[in-house]
Amino acid sequence: MRRVPIEVIPRIPDPVRKVARGTVWTAGRLTARWRDLPDFLVIGAQKAGTTALYAYLRWHPEIGGPFWKEVSFFDRHWARGEAWYRGQFPLRRRGRLAGEASPSYVFHPLAPQRVVSLVPDVKLIVLLREPGERAYSHYQHEVALGREPLSFEDALEAEDERLRGEVERLHSDPKAFSFAWWNHTYVSRGMYADQLERWFEHFPREQVLALTTEELGERPAQTYASVLSFLDAVPHALDAYPRVFDRDYPPMRDETRRALTARFAEPNRRLEELLGRPLGWPAA
């Protein structure tokens, strides 16, 4: 199976990865004037298949971007400035598209206004996964990284308390970073309608392509073709559309699944109304 850097980099030891990134960032900033800003952003959602989609896009012969996924400029690194961000992208090449994928952008309260201030014409792609499954996958990711000591059910119950005051802190300080907001927002990240409404305040609907993880998994070739059409990229078919970063873990408890389905029923209804189409997710 073919590999791309976004699949290989997470397997590199963290100290080595930090040194490599620092070297590339320094070189990129020095040559920023010769580098373009992105034509498109994959803005989320986290644990919704953005790594796979970004890999497919990087396999297109006329699409380039940063060496790694998750530049996270519009959420984590905004204070570093435009030159730093330009430094993430390839040197200008006529006729070539460039983009990046940072799946927390869709969720960050300040990302829409930051994006529109720097790249108002950028095209936005968002992948939305059934929010209960997304929450559980996110939880298992945090457990695997050693950042979540609670059971899933206890983590859901603790979420509001963990997040108390964190969004306000992000609003008040552009350099602020919240580990609780980044790591433990299992339910909050699934409130997609609230998030997309923020983006639609700054971008016209035709500049945003909303897809579901389920569509990408069940019809990858057709979904990939729709993304390329949205980007005005030349048609391109891949030999295969592999899943990326699968992780095995125990199934969610049935009673927890039922509770999450009920909890997300109204937010999902609002999302379908916002997007103007059914999503096929379970309803309470």
Query: Does 283 map to a domain?
Result: no
For residue range 150-165, list pLDDT tens digits in order: 999 999 999 999 999 9
Non-local CB neighbours of 141 within 8 Å, separated by 6+ positions? 47, 247
In this prediction the pTM is: 0.89
Query: Does 194 map to a domain?
Result: yes
Query: Does 280 map to a domain?
Result: no
For residue range 5-37, list pLDDT tens digits in order: 444 444 555 565 555 556 655 566 667 777 889
Average pLDDT, the chain: 90
pLDDT for 191 beyond 50: yes
Res 8: pLDDT? 46
Non-local CB neighbours of 77 within 8 Å, separated by 6+ positions? 71, 84, 85
Q: What is the CATH number of the domain that holds 172?
A: 3.40.50.300
**Pair of tokens at residue 199:** 């983006």
* Counted domains in the chain: 1
Q: What is the DSSP string of the chain?
A: ----HHHHGGGS-HHHHHHHHHHHHHHHHHTGGGBPPPSEEEEE-TTSSHHHHHHHHHTSTTEE--SSS---TTTTSGGG-HHHHHTTSPBP-TT-EEEEE-TTTTT-TTHHHHHHHH-TT-EEEEEE--HHHHHHHHHHHHHHTT---S-HHHHHHHHHHHTTTHHHHHHH-TT---HHHHHS-TTGGG-HHHHHHHHHTTS-GGGEEEEEHHHHHHSHHHHHHHHHHHTTPPP---S-----S----PPPPHHHHHHHHHHHHHHHHHHHHHHTS-------
For residue range 48-91, list pLDDT tens digits in order: 999 999 999 999 999 998 878 899 999 999 999 999 999 999 88
Query: Does 72 map to a domain?
Result: yes
Percent of the chain beyond pLDDT 90?
Answer: 77
Looking at per-residue confidence, does 268 or 20 come out higher? Answer: 268
Alpha-carbon span 28 to 9, nearest angstrom: 18
Res 6: pLDDT? 47
Query: Does 126 map to a domain?
Result: yes
* Mean pLDDT, range 180-205, rounded to an integer: 97
Structural domain of 130: 5-275
How far from the centroid of its chain's Cα atoms is residue 90's Cα?
A: 21
Query: Does 282 map to a domain?
Result: no
